[in-house]
Amino acid sequence: MNRPLPSPRNLARRLLSLGRGRGLDLSGQASFAVPAQAITTLAGPTEFRDTLLSLIAQARRRIVLVALYLQDDDAGREVIEALHAARKAHPDLSVEVYVDWHRARRGLIGKGDSEGNAAMYRDYAQRLGEGVVIRGVPVQNRELFGVLHLKGFIIDDAVLYSGASLNDVYLARHGRYRLDRYHLIRHQALADSMVGYVDAQFRGRDAVPRLDRLPLPRTRDLQEPIRRLRQSLQQAQYEGISEAPGDGDVAVIPLAGFGRNDNALNETLLALLRGAQRRVILLTPYFNLPRQVRVVIGHLLRRGCQLDIMVGDKTANDFYIPPEQPFSRIGLLPYLYEANLRRFAHDHQGAIDSGQLNLWLWRDGDNTYHLKGLLVDGEFAVLTGNNLNPRAWALDLENGLLLRDPSRRLLPQHEAEWQALRRHATRLAHYRDLPGVRSYPPEVRKLLRRMRRMRLDRLVNRLL
């Protein structure tokens, strides 16, 4: 029988004990003892793509893929064709894909009206059969106010975890890539727990329709089912019988988070930051930290903890529009993030000068940056799709894997990942090294002035 799981608030209290020197109490949690050798950090998007396709081809019992989207492009079609091929080779294989409902039914931003990726799903189902079930998850009634940002590909007893979605740039097709983090964990109980969450929250719910067949319901007709889904998600956590870690094991704790209150993932992230003793590495693609995180970072710096923050250069942002291309309003976002970073650097210039705070800007040609997560004191790591921004904090459905590694068996992998990232990163020596608003393109300066005059900049930051 499963042990009762504590409330998110109780989980936060236990994690807060890190800062008081009592250690991390995992009793009663869905915590899985994973041998360190069963956890692998993949080197990059090409290895991630190859591993995903290999796992799909080898699958015999189940495939459950959860991502923001599965795109109608070469890489997306390669994945969906691999899924159909696996199902054809093994008719008893269960294949389910869950993507965001709103994102699947629209075209790309700025590309005009479209039936979205759902049209591709229906086309494959009509040609190859309905053995690959693709469902859309509407976390909110409108995409602006929240999306499915849950992550994890479970294939038999393997968990392939990344913040990446499935398209050409995430899977490094056609010479460009969007860099994320990629981890493969082979452990049956963890895989069962992650599948159990998806089954309990999504499978069979009226709010989660199939996208691979017609007719599709209207979102307005799903309002009451969506309300019930939100209520369920606010209470939901991963379940499972806890396992006591042995020598050489890593405790892996899957956590979900949805909404501002009693959000286990948010509280865990804050608790880990508060309890840090020596060093924190924080990764985020969009520098727009929630207020609570900024406050804790201030405390960390005041008590002498070393802090490394890596973000993407504005040109490595997926919304960046080069000057030679026609500008649209979505191209304002990278400049907003850069302005946030410049203000943060200004406020903490003393810590930058002393080397206590290191701000790293990642850039590699025309490739883009999408990393997120925490590394704390060499013992704790958080793998997550959470962007560490106000939207993730309050609107989107997020999850993450907390890894506790007291023996530091994974430290060589973490260090190798960090060194690889820094090969394409530059340390910011002074806030003035970042351009000011006066140097921005005229269209950007005009939009920023208008937003500040109407006091919309804070609202926009909360929705980003």
The residue with tokens 């495939």 is 63
User: Residue 427's beta-bridge partner residues?
Assistant: 360
Residue 370 annotated in active site: yes
The alpha-helical segments, DSSP class H, found in 152-212 are 188-201
DSSP 8-state code for residue 464 = -
Which two three-digit tokens encode residue 32?
């899985």
DSSP state of 355: T
Q: Which amino acid is at 267?
A: E
- The active-site residue, picked from 187, 370, 379, 396, is 370
Catalytic residue flag (residue 180): yes
| The one catalytic residue among 267, 398, 405, 417 | 398
Active site residue 398: yes
Kind and range of the H or E run holding 49: helix 45-58
- State the catalytic residue, choosing from 180, 192, 212, 405: 180
- Please tell me whether residue 369 adopts helix, strand or coil conformation: strand
Q: Is 42 helix (H, G, I), strand (E, B) or coil?
A: coil
Instruction: Catalogue the long-range contacts made by 449-454 (C-beta closer than 8 Å, 24 or more residues apart).
Output: none
Active-site entry in 84, 102, 149, 183 = 149
- Whether residue 70 contacts residue 165, with contact meaning beta carbons closer than 8 Å, is answered with yes
Cα(71)–Cα(79) distance, rounded to whole angstroms?
A: 10
149 is catalytic: yes
Pairing between β-strand 158-162 and β-strand 152-155 as defined by DSSP bridges: antiparallel
CB 278 within 8 A of CB 306: yes
Q: DSSP characters for 229-246?
A: HHHHHHH-----------
Within its chain, how far is the Cα of 113 from the centroid? Answer: 27
Catalytic residues: 149, 180, 370, 398
